[in-house]
A and B are shown apart, each in its own frame.
Chain A
């Protein structure tokens, strides 16, 4: 993990960018790359790139960034890992190209020189990078198809700026903090700010799977090079027989794990008592990783109870020969860390606390890289949403399709305020269940659109909804049609909840501790390999196949326990924190309502006029 940023004064009316701004933005990302830092300026000083480095591949200074091509025509600043770098390098060397380093960064320079913007189709991995093209006097930006690595841009009409973090861009001091209503509405709807919006009108995310070109004529609209729905639509016509599922999962996940083990430093693993991380650990051992450490986050509140994940995680670690580290966290440590958590949180999120503490534990253990099981539930239909969303569509969709019925039902149900207060989303079933996007919004929604007036004021809510177009945005991610109920929910989960919340949380929480979190279950090659299997996947079957992927399958106790699930006390801590620090045992609220209270506290931590006006 690293941090990159840059400034390009593309409009001839603009003054040359200042070094102090470039450095201020870069240094706001110090924790992303504690091992080194660099800057580069074009000869006319109209474009500057900067980088903070976390050394993982080629630890030498030769691989420092920004890195220039031998002929001086290209300069790259890169965050991420290119997992197929050895293959790409071999092919480039076969065509006569000489490498100066053993880093994956250099591959980007040679690929761009050979293939231009089309280079992105050859990359496997997580990446966000910027390449300065001296001959075309322009800047090329790209972000990986799954959105694992972030990249934010700001354009004021004269000068284009970009960075790995929103707060880093703001630290440069030249970008307005005018609020973006769509970002605020999006946060209250989903619990995280949906790409490409941020809380600020002048800062946008480069969407996952997009490139962008900037030259003297200004930034062009981002171009999509990868579309998850299209992957299903193109490769999902063939449905894999159920009997072939275990082999398919074993082969594809093993391949992804192998690719994700590319590093010149030790790789650890975040080990819970669930199937995803345990299976990955098993495959790591099977692939030949000999010595590795597994970090398990456990909670003081659950010590000695059957909610404690540590014993089962220890069983898995023992089975696969990992050195097991259990890091226990309690409410007191949470409250102590809360100010720095909110400071490190790049954009507001109602989650990320687990990611914060497990990354903290990894840092304490001296790790730089950790494998995470994030993405398993999205990939293999592990979430309740894979059952709920299609069911709600079937049961309530025909009624919700009747114009106006939702609003009428909502008015009637208001006669029962107690029910409305405890199960607010039930009121939306007859309003939203007539479409996939509506049903998904109901499943993942924090607040529903009709509730926003009370949360944030009518004008801001109306303008935010108009700009965000949440249902349209969700529906757009399903084009072309992925082809089956499971595939649709898979695409929705990948494109929204996982991308905007889980992956973003993993980035800021890992970054705050200088930990690169790798996610072998979030991989386009893996997804493509399993598309035909996912089309017909029944809930539970995919995760069972994953549990059996290692030659020595996960212990039966883990598989059984995974079915009933674990709870974490962080929700109660968050609810307590948002109730002015009352102890968590005295705060009783359904999880959903606790999240709502927490969301207001989180937003309060983001200094903007809108936040301050509307936060509790």
Chain B
């Protein structure tokens, strides 16, 4: 537990800061402060929350925002499956609750995907990340009440850069790079043709490049 907190500590200011960015973006996308904080507390997955807020903010529909967010969170299912063994013997309600503390960082740093996965360490790290994330969102949502438009202070450019940084972290091999390039191309082609949000969903068709070689 102590070890988990020590390992995760350097990441907490970043989680707070990105949570705050989400809070500001959510306010500029017409979320109430309470809705922003509730989303961080329940969804607790950065890129999906930022995606949903930016799609709603750009005038996209509910279906596009939800679908994009859930597609981004699909990765939690295979991540959860790789660590399922360590939940063996616990009551269902505890497994359900503890599974919510799975985030990219807590999963990876606790040894997710390896035989050495440490569930207690994941829980300590996930809980610390949760407080930083929700606290950051609350701070950003309060600060964001002075922001009326995403173009204020270059926030729109800040979020483009945020997505680029999140993308860079996920492009770890050539297939991921191919999917990213094709996804970008699909989005560019469809933007003039379809309502906001649809190009994002359609970009998932890019994973089919990996179908033959997978």
State yes or no: do A and B come from one complex: no
A: residues with CB less than 8 A from B are none
Partner-A contacts on B (CB < 8 A): none
